[in-house]
C-alpha cells in the first residue's frame, strides 16, 4: 500500500501532515511512503530527512496517484485549492485529513461523487481509545499557547507583576472565554507568564480544571447544566441564553487587559460573547484575540486574519495559529495521523469495519456515497437505508 503526504497549498498553511519520524514508523509497519518534494520545508523538514527515514520524495502528480493521501487540509478545509487535487485523484483513493465536513458538506459530497474514500479527522471520537488520534486537541493546544504570545506582543504593558527601583508594576488581567483544550492552554500559558488570569465557560464541569491551573473561574448565575453535548463539546444555546450571558460578562470583560476568545460549537457559527458595547467599555490599549474569527467570531468587530483597532482596543482575528509554529504542530499532527492510519490498516483498510467506532465515525464518503449521517443531513440528503449504509462501509 502506497501512502503519500502532500505539500499544503492553502494560503499560509506551513504544516505538513507527515514528519520524517512518522514516515519511518509507517515504513517499519510495511507501508511504502511517498512524500511530495518540498512538503516539509516550511515546517523545517528537508527532503533529505524523509529519504533518510525510508520515504521516497516524488512530484505532486505521483503523490496524488497513491492508495492513501495524507493532508493537513483536504476537501472543505482546503478551500478553492481542493478542486484541482480532487479531480486528479483516482476513484477509490483514500484521503485522510481535516475536511471541515459539517461546515462544507457539499465539498464532501463532490468528493463522494468522484469515488473517493474520505476520512475527516475532525470527527475522531473523543474517547480514551482515540485520544492519541485527536488532531483537533493537539492543534488547539498549541493555538491556545500561541494566542497568549500574540496578545502579549500586542499589549502595551507587560503581563507579570514586576517590582523595580522605580516602583511596582501590577500584573495584567487576562480573561479566557471558553475552557476547552485551547482555552485551558491559554490559561496555563498566561499564568506561567505571570498574569492575573480568569476563565469562563458555559460548562460548569470545567470549573475544577480552570482552578487547577491557578486561575479564577468566573461564575455567572445562568442555568448551564444542559450546555455540554456528547463528547465534551459545548452545545449551541438559544439567543436568550447568550443575551443574558453577554449582560453578565460585560463587567468582567471591561476590567480585563486581555480577552482571549476560544468558544466554538462544532459545525456552527461561533456565539458572540463580546459585544461592541463591551469593547467600548474596555480600557484603551486592551487586546482581544479571537480564535473563533474564522467562524464569525466571539467578539463583535473581529475580522478573519486581520488586526483592527476599535475604540482604542486591538482586536486580533487569527484563523490558523497552529501554522505559526509549524514544526511542533506538524510533529503532533503526524503522530496523530500515523496512529490513526495504523489503526485503519490493522482494521482492514481499504475495507472499513462497521463495528470499529473510530473508522465508522470518521468515514464521510465511500464507494460513491456520502455515508456520514450528520454530513448527509447538512448536505440536505435523506438518511441512508441500513442495507446501503452497510454496503458503503
From the list 47, 131, 244, 353, the catalytic residue is 131
Could you tell me where the DSSP H helices lie in 225-356? 239-254, 276-281, 326-346
Contacts of 89 (CB under 8 A, 6+ apart): 64, 69, 95, 114, 116
Residue 390 pLDDT > 60? no
Confidence of residue 371 (pLDDT cuts 50, 70, 90): very high
134 catalytic? Reply is yes
Confidence of residue 230 (pLDDT cuts 50, 70, 90): low
> For residue range 93-151, what is the model confidence (pLDDT) as tens digits?
999 999 999 999 999 999 999 999 999 999 999 999 999 999 999 999 999 999 999 99
> For residue range 236-292, what is the model confidence (pLDDT) as tens digits?
666 777 777 777 899 899 999 999 999 988 778 998 999 999 999 999 999 999 999
Beta-bridge partners for 154: none
pLDDT, mean of residues 356-384: 95
pLDDT at 167: 93
Measured CA to CA, the distance from residue 166 to residue 156 in angstroms comes to: 18
Measured CA to CA, the distance from residue 121 to residue 98 in angstroms comes to: 5
Distance of CA 67 to the CA centre of its chain: 26
Beta-bridge partners for 196: 173
Residue 392 pLDDT > 70? no
C-beta of residue 178 within 8 angstroms of C-beta of residue 201: yes
pLDDT at 227: 55
Residue 386 pLDDT > 80? no
Helix (H) or strand (E) holding 316: strand 313-316
- Could you give the percent of the chain with pLDDT greater than 90? 85
pLDDT at 267: 79
From the list 46, 88, 126, 280, the catalytic residue is 126
333 catalytic? Reply is no
What does the mean pLDDT of the chain come to?
93
Question: How would you list the strands of the sheet with 313-316, edge to edge?
Answer: 216-217, 196-200, 173-177, 258-261, 287-290, 313-316, 307-310
> For residue range 9-60, what is the model confidence (pLDDT) as tens digits?
999 999 999 999 999 999 999 999 999 999 999 999 999 999 999 999 999 9
Nearest alpha carbon to residue 227 among 204, 199, 198, 261 = 204
Confidence of residue 182 (pLDDT cuts 50, 70, 90): very high
CATH fold of 144-319:
Rossmann fold (3.40.50)
Superfamily of domain 2-133+325-392: NAD(P)-binding Rossmann-like Domain (3.40.50.720)
Measured CA to CA, the distance from residue 157 to residue 188 in angstroms comes to: 19
From the list 134, 201, 257, 290, the catalytic residue is 134
Q: Where are the domains of the chain?
A: 2-133+325-392, 144-319
Contacts of 116 (CB under 8 A, 6+ apart): 86, 89, 91, 92, 93, 94, 95, 365
pLDDT at 203: 85
From the list 32, 132, 192, 233, the catalytic residue is 233
pLDDT at 316: 98
Measured CA to CA, the distance from residue 236 to residue 250 in angstroms comes to: 20
The length of the chain, given as a count of residues = 393
Per DSSP, which regions of 55-131 are E strands? 56-58, 68-73, 94-98, 117-120
Measured CA to CA, the distance from residue 114 to residue 85 in angstroms comes to: 11
Model-level pTM? 0.91
C-beta of residue 393 within 8 angstroms of C-beta of residue 355: no
109 catalytic? Reply is no
233 catalytic? Reply is yes
**In CATH terms, are 2-133+325-392 and 144-319 the same topology?**
yes
From the list 32, 103, 132, 137, the catalytic residue is 137
Lowest mean pLDDT of 167-181, 225-239, 339-353, 359-373, name the range.
225-239
Strands 363-366 vs 117-120: parallel, antiparallel or unpaired: antiparallel
DSSP 341-370: HHHHHHTTTTS--TT-HHHHHHEEEETTEE
pLDDT at 391: 57
Enumerate helices (H) and strands (E) in the chain, giving the number of each: 14, 17
pLDDT at 31: 97
145 catalytic? Reply is no
Cα atoms in the Cβ-side hemisphere of radius 13 Å centred on 313: 30
Measured CA to CA, the distance from residue 175 to residue 288 in angstroms comes to: 9
Confidence of residue 388 (pLDDT cuts 50, 70, 90): low
pLDDT, mean of residues 349-363: 93
pLDDT at 246: 77
Contacts of 256 (CB under 8 A, 6+ apart): 173, 174, 175, 198, 282, 286
Amino acid at each position: 500500500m502506497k501512502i503519500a503526504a502532500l505539500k499544503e497549498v492553502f494560503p499560509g498553511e506551513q504544516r505538513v501532515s507527515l514528519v520524517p519520524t512518522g514516515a519511518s514508523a509507517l515504513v517499519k509497519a510495511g507501508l511504502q511512503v511517498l512524500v511530495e518534494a518540498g512538503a516539509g520545508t516550511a515546517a523545517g523538514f528537508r527532503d533529505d530527512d524523509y529519504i533518510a527515514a525510508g520515504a521516497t520524495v516524488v512530484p505532486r502528480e505521483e503523490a496524488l496517484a497513491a492508495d492513501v493521501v495524507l493532508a493537513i487540509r483536504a476537501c472543505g478545509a482546503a478551500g478553492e485549492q481542493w478542486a484541482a487535487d480532487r479531480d486528479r485523484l483516482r476513484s477509490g483513493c483514500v484521503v485522510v485529513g481535516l475536511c471541515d465536513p459539517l461546515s462544507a458538506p457539499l465539498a464532501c459530497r463532490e468528493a463522494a461523487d468522484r469515488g473517493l474514500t474520505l476520512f475527516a479527522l475532525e470527527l475522531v471520537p473523543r474517547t480514551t481509545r482515540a485520544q492519541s488520534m485527536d488532531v483537533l486537541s493537539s492543534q488547539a493546544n498549541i493555538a491556545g499557547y500561541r494566542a497568549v504570545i500574540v496578545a502579549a506582543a500586542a499589549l502595551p504593558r507587560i503581563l507579570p507583576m514586576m517590582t523595580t527601583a522605580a516602583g511596582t508594576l501590577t500584573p495584567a488581567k487576562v480573561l479566557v472565554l471558553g475552557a476547552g483544550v485551547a482555552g485551558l492552554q491559554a490559561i496555563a500559558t498566561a499564568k506561567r507568564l505571570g498574569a492575573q488570569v480568569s476563565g469562563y465557560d458555559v460548562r460548569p464541569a470545567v470549573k475544577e480544571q480552570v482552578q487547577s491551573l491557578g486561575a479564577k473561574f468566573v461564575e455567572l448565575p445562568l442555568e448551564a447544566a444542559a450546555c455540554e453535548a456528547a463528547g465534551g463539546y459545548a452545545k449551541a444555546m438559544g439567543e436568550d441564553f447568550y443575551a443574558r450571558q453577554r449582560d453578565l460578562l460585560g463587567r468582567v470583560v471591561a476590567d480585563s487587559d486581555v480577552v482571549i476568545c476560544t468558544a466554538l460549537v462544532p459545525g456552527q457559527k461561533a456565539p458572540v460573547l463580546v459585544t461592541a458595547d463591551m469593547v467600548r467599555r474596555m480600557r484603551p490599549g486592551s487586546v482581544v484575540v479571537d480564535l473563533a474569527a474564522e467562524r464569525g467570531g466571539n467578539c463583535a468587530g473581529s475580522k478573519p486574519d486581520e488586526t483592527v483597532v476599535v475604540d482604542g482596543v486591538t482586536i486580533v482575528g487569527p484563523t490558523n495559529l497552529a501554522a505559526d509554529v509549524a514544526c511542533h504542530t506538524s510533529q503532533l499532527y503526524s503522530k496523530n495521523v500515523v496512529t490513526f492510519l495504523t489503526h485503519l490498516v490493522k482494521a482492514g483498510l481499504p475495507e472499513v469495519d462497521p463495528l470499529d467506532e473510530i473508522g465508522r465515525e470518521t468515514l464521510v464518503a465511500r464507494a460513491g456515497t456520502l455515508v456520514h449521517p450528520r454530513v448527509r443531513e447538512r448536505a440536505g440528503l435523506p438518511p441512508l437505508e441500513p442495507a446501503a449504509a452497510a454496503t458503503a462501509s
